[in-house]
Amino acid sequence: MSSDLPTLLGDLITVNNRLTRVAAHAADGQESPAVWRTLSVLRQLGPIRLGEIAARSRISQPTATKLVTHLVERGWAARLAEPLDARVTSTVITPAGETALSSWRSELAAALLPMFDGLADADLATIRNAVDILRDRLDGSEVPAERVPADVAAVAVAAAVAGASGSAAVPTAPGATAASPAAGTPAGARS
């Protein structure tokens, strides 16, 4: 390991935090940074429990509860019952949440364009290479303690979308019947 690696990594974190703050300020969004951080966590890790959202987003559990409630009200996330314990819920990002997150990232990028306009091709290649290296090193480094099966998460997202569109039908997990919905039906949903 290079002796300057710890200093370089410290500088990277500092510059990244500064870049994020400058972009968020320039984009002048109405949502809290915690909203976008939480949606990013949900997109990356899939359905996760509230305590893990709090830990990953670096907020208290009561704040995470309020945040998830806000996301669910916006239609950007859905709650689903855990397959083995219906008293426990996980949160999953919805298609509307994916769209909102992508739009926010586009706004941030647009806000930063004036700062980076005119960079030489070699500098752009350096940034692209750095992003690729960071992505490769980070991918897979944040795995939730317990994953909700993909089919159960899909049921929750479908139910959230159906609920947002006013549809009375609530999908159930594979193998479930309308009379006995399987675990995975979004918390509070009725069949």
Residue 99 inside a domain? The answer is: yes
pLDDT tens figures, 36-48: 989 999 998 889 9
Structure tokens at 44: 């990356």
Confidence (pLDDT) at 21: 86
pLDDT tens figures, 46-90: 899 999 999 888 889 999 999 999 999 999 999 998 888 878 899
Give the closest residue to 155 by CA, choosing from 175, 177, 170.
170
CATH classification of the domain holding 41: 1.10.10.10
pLDDT class of 11 with cuts at 50, 70, 90: very high
Confidence (pLDDT) at 25: 84
Q: Does position 174 have pLDDT exceeding 50, yes or no? A: no
Confidence (pLDDT) at 159: 59
Q: What is the mean pLDDT of the segment spanning 132-145?
A: 77
Range of weakest confidence among 18-32, 69-83, 154-168 = 154-168
Residue 34 inside a domain? The answer is: yes
Q: What is the mean pLDDT of the segment spanning 143-158?
A: 56
pLDDT class of 7 with cuts at 50, 70, 90: very high
The total number of structural domains that make up the chain: 1
Rounded Cα distance between 29 and 3, Å, is 40
Q: Sign of torsion, CA 178 181 184 186?
A: positive
Residue 187 inside a domain? The answer is: no
pLDDT class of 152 with cuts at 50, 70, 90: low
Residue 184 inside a domain? The answer is: no
Q: Does position 186 have pLDDT exceeding 50, yes or no? A: no
User: Between these two residues, 163 and 58, which has the higher pLDDT value?
Assistant: 58
Reported as type and span, the H/E element at residue 91 is strand 89-93
Residue 170 inside a domain? The answer is: no
Residue 7 inside a domain? The answer is: no
Residue 188 inside a domain? The answer is: no
Ramachandran region, residue 4 (left: φ > 0; alpha: ψ -120 to 50; beta: rest): alpha
Domain that holds residue 138: 28-164
Residue 172 inside a domain? The answer is: no
Q: What is the mean pLDDT of the segment spanning 96-112?
A: 93
